[in-house]
Amino acid sequence: MSVHHHLSDATLMSYAAGNLPESMTLVIAAHLSMCPACRNKLTVLEDIGGMKLEQAPAQAMAPDALDMVLAQLGPQEERPIRVSKPVAPSDIPQPLRSYLPERLSDIPWKTMAPGIKTFTLPGVRTQTGTLRLLKIAPGVTIPEHTHGGMELTLVLRGSFSDEIGRFTCGDIADLDEETNHQPIADTDEDCICLIATDAPLRFNKLMPRLVQYFTGM
């Protein structure tokens, strides 16, 4: 897999600091599992953060701090060791596997618009945004739009093109409110993307805005 579009340094720094909502964190973790370059950059940023912590003045802790933490955890039960069974190969990145069926072909898609299907990941905190999978049929275009905030789009299968460039499997579009684009699935297979937003999209035309009203996109 050759990844050409990566996370920005600012996004990686926010991820390393734990400052992003769960939905964004999940998309980033999935991209990191597919992108050695971003993993290496994250390691550098974490090392820099570790050095800054080491240089910070030491803070005294109460003598019973450990006992207080253990008391809050409560009694710990011993659990039997389970031997993992072999699993079938999956085309879903490891960080997403507890949220999705075993394969992309098993996802129970819902139709959002002609040529566009969606699946909302269950049990993920998104604050004011959304986290969903989109399946876009070949040649179908997502209506032109801007963003009310941050958007991360990770390609899991197929590809799309927009004003920024061409995105294939493993590529991530790290976008903000200044981006205006109109993605189109540009191959003969469905384009499947994982998309996290922290605010609703802003469609430039009336009909997409009506679809947005009914779908919460």
pLDDT, tens only, 164-188: 999 999 999 998 877 777 899 999 9
Which pTM was predicted? 0.77
Query: 173 lies in which domain range?
Result: 101-215
**Starting at the edge strand that comes first in sequence, how are the strands of the sheet with 191-197 ordered?**
110-113, 116-120, 130-136, 191-197, 151-157, 172-175
pLDDT band at residue 217, thresholds of 50, 70 and 90? low
In a domain, 107, yes or no: yes
Asked whether residue 105 is assigned to any structural domain, the reply reads yes
Which of 86 and 72 is assigned the larger pLDDT? 72
Residue 158 lies in a domain: yes
Look at the chain and report how many structural domains it folds into.
Answer: 1
Domain assignment present for 207: yes
Give the residue, 145 or 135, on which the prediction is more confident: 135
Asked if residue 127 is part of any domain, the answer here is yes
Residue 189 inside a domain? The answer is yes
Q: How far apart are CA 170 and CA 161, in angstroms?
A: 14
CATH number at residue 158: 2.60.120.10
Q: Is residue 94 part of a domain?
A: no
Has residue 79 been placed in a domain?
Answer: no
For 16-50, how does the pLDDT look when each residue is reduced to its tens digit (9 = 90+)?
999 999 999 999 999 999 999 999 999 998 887 66
